[in-house]
Structure 1
């Protein structure tokens, strides 16, 4: 398999663990990814989610970057309507100035939260409508060719932090193609429009200063382990965690309560979200990833290792790389 591998780390807060322990786990995961030839590690902006510690995405990137040496790190992504483009340019311009050649900036237009949290973020519900213009404004700050007269990003101007458009629908495909940017599809949780969106992006792509040909990154869940029984247990735990996150109304649940949620109808939605999941022994995972890369017409796979403990996630990263011979950056 020649398609390079990357990692999406949601910085999960495992049951019974603290946020500090979760962040230490993210450092260990990035160090394992670096040691095993993955191209990049991305962190996603989420808010008000008890099981995810990546809300302050740029801060987490800075912490991990200081504890790794070569792997690319970035946002997958920053939810741009939650922020001013200038502030994002300053944050990622600072990161790029400290860690030159290692910082990516993926951009999404979803809130990364529920409606109540969106209001707490002081987000304008109509902010998503200006997403294309905000991407271009941000691009101007980072290139040093600001679209806002008299305003420059300091730090940021001239860092040319590479931008990526994230999406799970045709909107992102059209925008990434029009702006000549790489397109990252969130098929690890929203698989429905994958093939249509990728085909649209490739067909409509217009070359830009950043990119002369289309480039597709596709998300895929991975659970790799030496023992098939253990992998099955991990997959069951992932299904429970997804059910509680979506339908648990913010309260902790026992495994038995989560199983009742799954049996009551949550299971169908959870399984649909997990459509693109490579699970099993390293050999099985390699075959499944090869099939997925072909289906997605992907130039790069962004693997989300979803096992319920840090140790299992790190081992999954290691086994997957060994199985598919990931190409170093």
Structure 2
């Protein structure tokens, strides 16, 4: 029997997480290097994210970072997961993606979300409040209209203004399914990005509604579902579980201290004296992720794809040890049967020096 993974695309979202003792510029450079590495492993897309004023995340300007990633790679699709549309004027977003698509034709994705900031202070600095997310559907219509020009809806051609060089280009839009994102994506006829894999019943229900309500559009003739989540692969199940520790602690810390910290080594975290509330959040952060050996992860992902009918899996893993993270992506690529791209794109794995057990990745 053919595995459902044979027809499934696999992609990577990197949030440019900083590590303890590491500054933002180093994290951004590491994101670009990781993009080259996952391209060499055969992943379909590489996306970057938008976060403002978050101490542990350096990725604040996703279209700028996407340009750097696209310039450093050759064939992998590059995009955003996502640009938070309420933080920007739709015209400016259209112009930015128009420039990206013009420079890197056929390789750019436009992932769009509706978040308006991590804290009240960040929202004030952005000149936004939580209610701005309520206009996401209208903002999306305006953004797409700038690409469609005279054929578009609100905004396009208003006062004879035209989005240059975006007008006439077709940069594939994706909607991140926060809030009513699944309904918005279905009504607009756009691909849907759904997470996280731990909330399987919620994901399946939302995907079913999306498919049932989907209206074909100039952007997509059929529903397209990307499921996103953490996937950690190592030589043993225990080693894979340890990869989850730094991010689980960062989430627990943020929930109890109000600040999202850089990633710390797992051995330090495991020796911390946590409060009861911190330990509760920490334990929750470790549960439900897809992790294990290559065989265990392959079986788990087959179940995910069978349950959700996903067309694509977007992996969002973070851990302290960058070499171990890249090892996880390499093992995942091998487990699901990814093939390296032909030619010079990703001709070498820049971060694999000194790792063991990876000699057959490109075979």
* TM-score of the two chains, using structure 2 as the length reference: 0.83
Q: What stretches of structure 2 of length at least 5 have no aligned partner?
A: 342-363
Number of matched pairs: 327
Distance change (3 Å), C-alpha of 1:24 and 1:272: same
Alignment correspondent of 2:93: 88
Distance change (3 Å), C-alpha of 1:225 and 1:101: same
Which deviates the most, 191-200 or 156-165?
191-200
Q: Distance in 1 between matches of 2:337 and 2:117?
A: 33
Q: What stretches of structure 1 of length at least 5 have no aligned partner?
A: none
Conserved? CA contact 1:187–1:276, under 8 Å: no
Work out which of the residue numbers 209, 217, 239 in structure 1 matches 2:226: 217
Distance change (3 Å), C-alpha of 1:269 and 1:316: same
Distance change (3 Å), C-alpha of 1:111 and 1:18: same
Alignment correspondent of 1:71: 76
Alignment correspondent of 1:120: 125
Alignment correspondent of 2:254: 245
CA deviation map 1:121-179 (0-9, x unaligned): 1114432121111101100112233533212111211121111111144x111111111
Q: Distance in 2 between matches of 1:189 and 1:108?
A: 20
RMSD: 2.4
Conserved? CA contact 2:318–2:325, under 8 Å: yes
* TM-score of the two chains, using structure 1 as the length reference: 0.91
Q: Distance in 2 between matches of 1:115 and 1:191?
A: 30
Q: Distance in 2 between matches of 1:109 and 1:258?
A: 37
**TM-fit CA distance, 1:197:** 0.8
CA deviation map 1:224-245 (0-9, x unaligned): 1224443232222332122123
Q: Distance in 2 between matches of 1:113 and 1:159?
A: 32
Which deviates the most, 96-105 or 35-44?
35-44
Alignment correspondent of 2:320: 308
Work out which of the residue numbers 240, 245, 254 in structure 2 matches 1:231: 240
Conserved? CA contact 1:191–1:276, under 8 Å: no
Q: Tell which structure's C-alpha radius of gyration is larger.
A: 2
Work out which of the residue numbers 51, 55, 67 in structure 1 matches 2:56: 51
Distance change (3 Å), C-alpha of 1:327 and 1:294: farther
CA deviation map 1:43-94 (0-9, x unaligned): 1211111111111111111111110011111111111001100111111111
Distance change (3 Å), C-alpha of 1:200 and 1:269: farther
Conserved? CA contact 2:254–2:260, under 8 Å: no
Conserved? CA contact 2:254–2:261, under 8 Å: no
